[in-house]
Amino acid sequence: MFGYIAIVAISSLVGMVISKKLKSTFAKYGTVIMSNGMNGAQVAQAMLDYYNINDVKIVPRKGILTDHYNPLTKTIALSEPVYNSYSVSAGAVAAHECGHAIQHASKYHAMHMRSVMVPFIQFSSRIQQFLFFGILMGIGTEIMTSVWGLGILTATFGATALFALVTLPVEFNASKRALTWLDDTDVMKDGIEYDGAKEGLKWAAMTYVANALSALVIFLYFGWNMLTNRNKGRLV
Protein backbone atom coordinates (compact mmCIF):
# COMPACT_ATOMS: atom_id res chain seq x y z
CA MET A 1 0.00 0.00 0.00
CA PHE A 2 3.03 2.30 0.23
CA GLY A 3 2.77 3.24 -3.43
CA TYR A 4 -0.89 4.19 -3.08
CA ILE A 5 -0.21 6.25 0.06
CA ALA A 6 2.66 8.05 -1.70
CA ILE A 7 0.46 8.89 -4.69
CA VAL A 8 -2.32 10.22 -2.44
CA ALA A 9 0.18 12.27 -0.40
CA ILE A 10 1.78 13.86 -3.47
CA SER A 11 -1.61 14.51 -5.07
CA SER A 12 -2.87 16.13 -1.88
CA LEU A 13 0.19 18.38 -1.72
CA VAL A 14 -0.23 19.48 -5.34
CA GLY A 15 -3.93 20.05 -4.70
CA MET A 16 -3.18 22.20 -1.67
CA VAL A 17 -0.75 24.37 -3.65
CA ILE A 18 -3.25 24.90 -6.46
CA SER A 19 -6.09 25.54 -4.01
CA LYS A 20 -4.00 28.13 -2.21
CA LYS A 21 -3.21 29.88 -5.50
CA LEU A 22 -6.89 29.78 -6.47
CA LYS A 23 -8.00 31.31 -3.19
CA SER A 24 -5.34 34.01 -3.31
CA THR A 25 -6.29 34.89 -6.90
CA PHE A 26 -9.97 35.17 -6.05
CA ALA A 27 -9.12 37.17 -2.95
CA LYS A 28 -7.00 39.54 -5.06
CA TYR A 29 -9.74 40.21 -7.60
CA GLY A 30 -12.37 40.07 -4.91
CA THR A 31 -11.27 43.60 -4.04
CA VAL A 32 -11.62 44.86 -7.62
CA ILE A 33 -15.14 46.18 -8.18
CA MET A 34 -16.71 45.74 -11.61
CA SER A 35 -17.38 49.02 -13.36
CA ASN A 36 -20.79 47.79 -14.58
CA GLY A 37 -22.21 48.09 -11.04
CA MET A 38 -23.59 44.51 -11.04
CA ASN A 39 -23.26 41.88 -8.36
CA GLY A 40 -22.76 38.16 -9.00
CA ALA A 41 -26.45 37.34 -9.07
CA GLN A 42 -27.13 40.15 -11.55
CA VAL A 43 -24.28 39.02 -13.80
CA ALA A 44 -25.72 35.50 -13.81
CA GLN A 45 -29.20 36.75 -14.66
CA ALA A 46 -27.87 38.99 -17.43
CA MET A 47 -26.04 36.06 -19.02
CA LEU A 48 -29.09 33.80 -18.84
CA ASP A 49 -31.20 36.56 -20.40
CA TYR A 50 -28.65 37.04 -23.18
CA TYR A 51 -28.99 33.37 -24.17
CA ASN A 52 -32.79 33.37 -23.69
CA ILE A 53 -32.68 30.83 -20.86
CA ASN A 54 -35.79 31.44 -18.76
CA ASP A 55 -36.18 28.22 -16.76
CA VAL A 56 -33.06 28.41 -14.58
CA LYS A 57 -33.20 29.75 -11.02
CA ILE A 58 -30.38 31.64 -9.30
CA VAL A 59 -30.19 31.08 -5.55
CA PRO A 60 -27.70 31.98 -2.77
CA ARG A 61 -25.79 29.20 -1.01
CA LYS A 62 -23.82 29.23 2.25
CA GLY A 63 -20.08 28.67 2.18
CA ILE A 64 -17.12 29.78 0.08
CA LEU A 65 -16.49 28.43 -3.46
CA THR A 66 -19.62 26.26 -3.13
CA ASP A 67 -20.96 27.59 -6.44
CA HIS A 68 -22.44 25.04 -8.83
CA TYR A 69 -25.12 24.36 -11.41
CA ASN A 70 -27.60 21.53 -10.79
CA PRO A 71 -28.97 20.22 -14.10
CA LEU A 72 -31.68 18.18 -12.34
CA THR A 73 -33.29 21.21 -10.70
CA LYS A 74 -32.01 23.75 -13.24
CA THR A 75 -30.61 25.84 -10.43
CA ILE A 76 -27.47 27.99 -10.27
CA ALA A 77 -26.35 28.11 -6.66
CA LEU A 78 -23.96 30.97 -5.93
CA SER A 79 -22.08 31.14 -2.65
CA GLU A 80 -23.15 34.16 -0.63
CA PRO A 81 -19.83 36.02 -1.21
CA VAL A 82 -20.41 35.63 -4.97
CA TYR A 83 -24.17 36.20 -5.00
CA ASN A 84 -23.93 39.56 -3.22
CA SER A 85 -20.49 40.77 -4.32
CA TYR A 86 -19.80 43.39 -7.00
CA SER A 87 -16.24 42.13 -7.53
CA VAL A 88 -14.51 40.77 -10.62
CA SER A 89 -14.13 37.40 -8.89
CA ALA A 90 -17.86 37.21 -8.24
CA GLY A 91 -18.68 38.09 -11.83
CA ALA A 92 -16.29 35.46 -13.19
CA VAL A 93 -17.70 32.70 -10.99
CA ALA A 94 -21.29 33.63 -11.78
CA ALA A 95 -20.59 33.64 -15.52
CA HIS A 96 -18.82 30.28 -15.29
CA GLU A 97 -21.81 28.65 -13.60
CA CYS A 98 -24.06 30.14 -16.26
CA GLY A 99 -21.75 28.49 -18.78
CA HIS A 100 -22.90 25.15 -17.37
CA ALA A 101 -26.54 26.17 -17.70
CA ILE A 102 -25.92 27.05 -21.34
CA GLN A 103 -24.20 23.70 -21.88
CA HIS A 104 -27.29 21.99 -20.49
CA ALA A 105 -29.65 24.01 -22.64
CA SER A 106 -27.59 23.33 -25.77
CA LYS A 107 -27.24 19.60 -24.93
CA TYR A 108 -23.45 19.76 -24.72
CA HIS A 109 -22.37 16.13 -25.12
CA ALA A 110 -19.60 16.02 -22.49
CA MET A 111 -21.91 17.45 -19.83
CA HIS A 112 -24.59 14.88 -20.63
CA MET A 113 -21.99 12.10 -20.45
CA ARG A 114 -20.78 13.33 -17.05
CA SER A 115 -24.35 13.44 -15.69
CA VAL A 116 -24.98 9.86 -16.85
CA MET A 117 -21.81 8.70 -15.10
CA VAL A 118 -22.68 10.17 -11.67
CA PRO A 119 -24.58 7.12 -10.28
CA PHE A 120 -21.79 4.77 -11.36
CA ILE A 121 -19.17 6.99 -9.73
CA GLN A 122 -21.13 7.08 -6.48
CA PHE A 123 -21.38 3.28 -6.52
CA SER A 124 -17.65 2.92 -7.25
CA SER A 125 -16.83 5.28 -4.40
CA ARG A 126 -18.84 3.16 -1.95
CA ILE A 127 -16.98 0.02 -3.04
CA GLN A 128 -13.61 1.75 -2.57
CA GLN A 129 -14.60 2.96 0.89
CA PHE A 130 -15.73 -0.53 1.88
CA LEU A 131 -12.45 -2.14 0.80
CA PHE A 132 -10.24 0.49 2.43
CA PHE A 133 -12.32 0.35 5.60
CA GLY A 134 -11.58 -3.39 5.69
CA ILE A 135 -7.85 -2.65 5.48
CA LEU A 136 -8.02 -0.15 8.36
CA MET A 137 -9.95 -2.65 10.50
CA GLY A 138 -7.35 -5.32 9.84
CA ILE A 139 -9.58 -7.38 7.58
CA GLY A 140 -9.83 -7.60 3.86
CA THR A 141 -6.07 -7.35 3.19
CA GLU A 142 -6.18 -10.71 1.45
CA ILE A 143 -9.02 -9.48 -0.73
CA MET A 144 -7.19 -6.26 -1.54
CA THR A 145 -4.08 -8.13 -2.65
CA SER A 146 -5.85 -10.81 -4.66
CA VAL A 147 -6.11 -10.63 -8.43
CA TRP A 148 -9.88 -10.14 -8.34
CA GLY A 149 -9.63 -7.61 -5.52
CA LEU A 150 -7.12 -5.60 -7.52
CA GLY A 151 -9.40 -6.00 -10.51
CA ILE A 152 -12.28 -4.40 -8.60
CA LEU A 153 -10.07 -1.51 -7.48
CA THR A 154 -8.73 -1.05 -11.01
CA ALA A 155 -12.26 -0.95 -12.41
CA THR A 156 -13.61 1.47 -9.79
CA PHE A 157 -10.62 3.81 -9.98
CA GLY A 158 -10.79 3.54 -13.76
CA ALA A 159 -14.36 4.84 -13.58
CA THR A 160 -13.20 7.65 -11.28
CA ALA A 161 -10.40 8.57 -13.69
CA LEU A 162 -12.76 8.54 -16.67
CA PHE A 163 -15.21 10.79 -14.83
CA ALA A 164 -12.40 13.21 -13.94
CA LEU A 165 -11.22 13.30 -17.56
CA VAL A 166 -14.73 13.88 -18.90
CA THR A 167 -15.10 16.71 -16.38
CA LEU A 168 -12.16 18.61 -17.93
CA PRO A 169 -13.83 19.64 -21.21
CA VAL A 170 -17.02 20.47 -19.30
CA GLU A 171 -15.20 22.90 -16.99
CA PHE A 172 -12.93 24.39 -19.65
CA ASN A 173 -15.85 24.89 -22.00
CA ALA A 174 -17.95 26.59 -19.30
CA SER A 175 -15.11 29.03 -18.63
CA LYS A 176 -14.65 29.65 -22.35
CA ARG A 177 -18.35 30.45 -22.72
CA ALA A 178 -18.17 32.76 -19.71
CA LEU A 179 -15.15 34.68 -20.96
CA THR A 180 -16.57 34.97 -24.49
CA TRP A 181 -19.80 36.43 -23.13
CA LEU A 182 -17.98 38.81 -20.77
CA ASP A 183 -15.85 40.02 -23.66
CA ASP A 184 -18.59 40.24 -26.31
CA THR A 185 -21.02 42.11 -24.07
CA ASP A 186 -18.37 44.32 -22.46
CA VAL A 187 -19.75 43.32 -19.05
CA MET A 188 -16.13 43.39 -17.91
CA LYS A 189 -13.84 46.04 -19.29
CA ASP A 190 -10.56 45.13 -20.96
CA GLY A 191 -7.65 45.32 -18.58
CA ILE A 192 -7.73 44.36 -14.93
CA GLU A 193 -11.40 43.28 -14.97
CA TYR A 194 -11.29 40.84 -17.89
CA ASP A 195 -7.73 39.73 -17.14
CA GLY A 196 -8.69 39.09 -13.52
CA ALA A 197 -11.66 36.96 -14.54
CA LYS A 198 -9.48 35.00 -16.94
CA GLU A 199 -6.79 34.36 -14.33
CA GLY A 200 -9.27 33.29 -11.68
CA LEU A 201 -11.03 30.83 -14.00
CA LYS A 202 -7.66 29.46 -15.13
CA TRP A 203 -6.71 28.48 -11.58
CA ALA A 204 -10.17 27.07 -10.96
CA ALA A 205 -9.65 24.83 -14.00
CA MET A 206 -6.25 23.74 -12.67
CA THR A 207 -7.95 22.12 -9.68
CA TYR A 208 -9.80 19.82 -12.09
CA VAL A 209 -6.60 19.08 -14.00
CA ALA A 210 -4.88 18.07 -10.75
CA ASN A 211 -7.81 15.84 -9.78
CA ALA A 212 -7.80 14.17 -13.18
CA LEU A 213 -4.06 13.48 -13.10
CA SER A 214 -4.32 12.07 -9.58
CA ALA A 215 -7.22 9.79 -10.53
CA LEU A 216 -5.39 8.60 -13.65
CA VAL A 217 -2.18 7.79 -11.75
CA ILE A 218 -4.09 5.84 -9.07
CA PHE A 219 -5.92 3.88 -11.77
CA LEU A 220 -2.61 3.03 -13.49
CA TYR A 221 -1.08 2.04 -10.15
CA PHE A 222 -3.75 -0.53 -9.35
CA GLY A 223 -3.88 -1.69 -12.96
CA TRP A 224 -0.12 -2.24 -13.00
CA ASN A 225 -0.30 -4.20 -9.73
CA MET A 226 -3.06 -6.38 -11.13
CA LEU A 227 -1.37 -7.06 -14.48
CA THR A 228 1.98 -7.91 -12.93
CA ASN A 229 0.27 -10.21 -10.42
CA ARG A 230 1.55 -8.30 -7.36
CA ASN A 231 -0.93 -10.13 -5.17
CA LYS A 232 1.34 -12.28 -3.09
CA GLY A 233 1.53 -10.58 0.26
CA ARG A 234 1.04 -6.82 -0.31
CA LEU A 235 0.70 -4.03 -2.78
CA VAL A 236 3.81 -2.06 -3.65
Question: How many C-beta atoms lie closer than 10 Å to residue 55's C-beta?
Answer: 8
Catalytic residue list contains 142: no
Return the SS3 of 233. coil
H helices of 106-146, in order, are 109-136, 141-144
Measure the CA–CA gap between 104 and 112, rounded to whole angstroms.
Answer: 8
Say which residues have a Cβ less than 8 Å from residue 142's Cβ, sequence separation at least 6: 149
Output phi, psi for 69, to 5 deg.
-115, 130
Q: Which of 97, 171, 193, 199 is catalytic?
A: 97
Q: How far is CA 151 from the centre of its chain?
A: 27
Measure the CA–CA gap between 73 and 55, rounded to whole angstroms.
Answer: 10
Residues recognised as catalytic:
97
